[in-house]
Amino acid sequence: MGGCLSLSICMETYRKEQIMPKWCPATIVEKKIWTDGLFTLTLNAPDVSPFEPGQFLQLAVTEGDERTNRPYSVASPHGDHLEFFIVLVEDGQLTPKLWGLSEGDTLEVAERAAGSFTLKKSPRSDVLWLLSTGTGLAPYIAMLRTPEPWENYDKICVIHGARHKTDLAYTEEMMGYQQQYPGRFKLIQALTREESEGTLSGRIPALLENGQLEEEAGVELQATNSTVLLCGNPAMLDDMEEKLGQRDMKRHRTKAPGQIVLERYW
């Protein structure tokens, strides 16, 4: 009875925090601009509770008595400093305010992270495919900075789809993994609106279909050997789920194991 009551209080607290988070103060310690409108904010936010790499936090900016908040994947593991990889949506409500902030400015961040887009909730396999478009790369950066993916998968392939070469953030960090883990880590970048040496041309689902992704990765993407995480543009998620379905792959659920785990940004 007591257990039931405390569980229901816990569930109620969890629900309330999703709707109305408890806010913590955060100060911008670094604003890195990758290209105009594409940036990483590093926040000093020591009051944020521990979370799993891949989870998201709400960020909020208050003007007058109006608070605007949105969810953002944390691009770093838990620590005093937290990174967020953000794109300016010009007619958006929050991102123009975030883009306008500078080092030393303050904002608010939710105390507790949420979401189940984590390696703990993903199936084990030989190959881990981390597929993203745009800022959907963020949760993978957090995961790769922890021992977890390296301990649980033989091979890790990061696929990052973007419009232009200048949108390809975190390249240096990931090239570092390629050197550190030769044969075990592969970064594949794909551009859709220009051609550039060292990158594939085209959208990720088309590159799976025409065989270029697997050729570049040097490994097959099959239900028997792969776990696929998908993050970013919802159209990419839908197209990929369809293509992976043709390979007998389906969404992973605790009670019905599959191979695909998704994070939909809008």
Binding residues for ligand FAD, rule: CB under 6 A, are 56, 70-73, 85-87, 89, 92-95, 115, 134-135, 138, 263, 265-266
Nearer to ligand NAP, 74 or 236 (CB): 236
Answer for which of 59, 239, 249, 261 binds ligand NAP (CB under 6 A) is 239
Nearest-approach distance from CB 4 to ligand NAP, in angstroms = 44
Q: Which of 175, 174, 163, 247 is nearest to 204 (CA)?
A: 163
Residue 166 to residue 252: CA distance in whole angstroms: 34
* Residue 235 binding target from ligand NAP, ligand FAD, none, CB below 5 to 8 Å by type: ligand NAP
Encoded tokens for 39: 């940036």
Which one of the spans 105-113, 115-123, 178-186, 201-209 is the region binding ligand NAP (CB under 6 A)?
201-209
Nearest-approach distance from CB 18 to ligand NAP, in angstroms = 25
Nearer to ligand FAD, 73 or 125 (CB): 73
- CB distance 161 to 192 below 8 Å: yes
Nearer to ligand NAP, 239 or 263 (CB): 239
205 near ligand NAP (CB under 6 A): yes
Q: Which of 45, 48, 46 is nearest to 22 (CA)?
A: 48
204 near ligand NAP (CB under 6 A): yes
Q: Which residue is nearest to ligand NAP (CB)?
A: 37
End-to-end CA distance of the chain: 40
Nearest-approach distance from CB 137 to ligand FAD, in angstroms = 8
Nearest-approach distance from CB 114 to ligand FAD, in angstroms = 8
Beta bridge partner(s), residue 44: 27, 81
Q: What are phi and psi of 209, to 5 degrees?
A: -65, -40
Nearest-approach distance from CB 138 to ligand FAD, in angstroms = 4
* Residue 204 binding target from ligand NAP, ligand FAD, none, CB below 5 to 8 Å by type: ligand NAP
223 near ligand NAP (CB under 6 A): no
The DSSP code sequence of 8-54 is HHHHHHHHHHHHSPPEEEEEEEEEEEEETTEEEEEEE-TTSPP--TT
110: how many CB neighbours lie within 10 A of its CB? 24
Window 118 to 147, contacts with ligand NAP (CB under 6 A)? 133-134
Window 32 to 91, contacts with ligand NAP (CB under 6 A)? 35-38, 87-89
153's CB contacts (< 8 A; 6+ apart) are 124, 125, 126, 127, 128, 227
Encoded tokens for 155: 């091979």
Residue 192 to residue 203: CA distance in whole angstroms: 6
- Sign (positive or negative) of CA dihedral 8, 10, 13, 15: negative
Matching residue, tokens 């990931």:
174
Q: Which residues bind ligand NAP (CB under 6 A)?
A: 35-38, 87-89, 133-134, 161-163, 167, 192-193, 203-205, 233, 235-236, 239
